[in-house]
Amino acid sequence: MNDLMKIALQELSAALRKFNRYINIIVFTYSLLLITGCEKNFDVALNSGDSQLVVEAYINNAIPEYNYVILSKSQTLDNSDLKSIPVKGAVVKITAGTAQSNHTIDWDKNSTVILKEGPLPGAPTAISDGVYTDPALHTDPGKALQGTSGTWYLLEIAVGENTYYATTSILQPLPISLSTGFHFVENDGIEKGRITVQFNDPDTAGNCQLFYWRHSDNKNSFGWGSLGTSRRIINSDENNNGNNTNITNSYGYVKGDWVTCYMAHVTRDVYNFWDSYNKARNNRGLLSTPSSLMGNIVGNNVTGCFSGLSISSATIQMD
């Protein structure tokens, strides 16, 4: 049984116990099948006849081809296949802005990039429906949309008569270093080890990080989802503010494998979304407490996140 079915059954069971005749069916599909060949599934409260627009959007400072927006419609339990439907023909824009002293943001309309639906460079050519990127990635990659630290970004989406928006910012990157250790031998005799990320947490409270890993198992995959599926590590400085921080990935890397870690310094709302995603995804059992997502997309019947990622990276070979 896949994650989506497990979460759907959890929420259906909870709703049946609570409402009897009036059942709120919780089905949220956050699918990366289009990009990575794997699925990421979430739950939010829906009426049985409703579906939601699901938004997965990124802006980062390091990898232009990893700035993209995926739009889909979640289905309900009225549909037996429980799949998400790509949303085609939307108008998607990203605009840069500067924070002002009066706590407003001055949006630079001259910076607006209109994303186009189509295949992503580096992804299978058949993947295009519901995927929106800067067309310059195909025509002039050096001029493609790339985030800048210290800048705010506005995401605007129009689907038919409905409009949606979200804002995010890219923080300053935090330098990282990597070390290997915790060596062990699997039952089949393969030598493996674990990798630890070291960085200095800023002395201001409220810093949060997400971690992504590229290695032999996912080197041919595309998208942040594929890089985050080995172990979904997140971190905040609530209990370790301003100190040197070490975080060890529990994944066992094969001896000799080259591994790149991408650490994303993110704002609290982005962290809260992915924290709630992890909790929803890891919710186990039909009697478990339902989890809800903490998205930052504004509009009717919508969920998801516009994630600003301030990327630092380092590469190491497992010894």
Q: Is the separation of the CB atoms in 29 and 4 below 8 Å?
A: yes
> What is the rounded CA–CA span in Å between residue 252 and residue 222?
21
> What is the rounded CA–CA span in Å between residue 41 and residue 48?
18
Judge if 235 and 108 occupy the same domain.
no
Q: How many residues does the chain have?
A: 319
pLDDT of residue 88: 94
Number of domains in the chain: 2
Judge if 211 and 288 occupy the same domain.
no
- Residue 59 falls inside a structural domain: yes
Domain of residue 226 covers 177-264
Judge if 119 and 194 occupy the same domain.
no
- Residue 317 falls inside a structural domain: no
pLDDT in tens, 1-31: 434 434 444 444 444 333 332 322 233 333 4
- Residue 314 falls inside a structural domain: no
Judge if 212 and 135 occupy the same domain.
no
Judge if 113 and 182 occupy the same domain.
no
- Residue 76 falls inside a structural domain: yes
Tell me if residue 280 falls in helix, strand or coil. Answer: helix
**Mean pLDDT, the chain cut into blocks of 10 residues (319 residues total):** 42 39 31 40 47 93 95 68 78 97 95 92 70 94 95 97 97 96 90 94 90 90 77 79 89 93 95 88 52 87 95 96
- Residue 42 falls inside a structural domain: yes
Judge if 287 and 189 occupy the same domain.
no
Judge if 153 and 47 occupy the same domain.
yes
- Helix, strand, coil: what percent of the chain each, to 5? 15, 40, 45
pLDDT of residue 230: 56
Judge if 186 and 164 occupy the same domain.
no
pLDDT of residue 241: 86
pLDDT of residue 219: 85
pTM reported for the whole predicted model: 0.81
Nearest one of 35, 38, 26 to 56, comparing CA atoms: 35
- DSSP states along 172-232: -----EEEEEEEEE-TTS-EEEEEEEEEEPPSSS--EEEEEEE-TTTTT--SHHHHTSS--
pLDDT of residue 197: 95
Return left, alpha or beta for 249; rule: phi > 0 is left, psi -120 to 50 is alpha, else beta. Answer: beta
CA distances from 22 to 11, 25, 258 (A): 14, 10, 53
Q: Is the separation of the CB atoms in 173 and 311 below 8 Å?
A: yes
Domain end, chosen from 229, 249, 264, is at 264
- Residue 318 falls inside a structural domain: no
Judge if 166 and 142 occupy the same domain.
yes
Judge if 130 and 158 occupy the same domain.
yes
- Residue 313 falls inside a structural domain: no
Domain end, chosen from 264, 279, 294, is at 264
Judge if 186 and 107 occupy the same domain.
no
- Residue 184 falls inside a structural domain: yes
Judge if 274 and 149 occupy the same domain.
yes
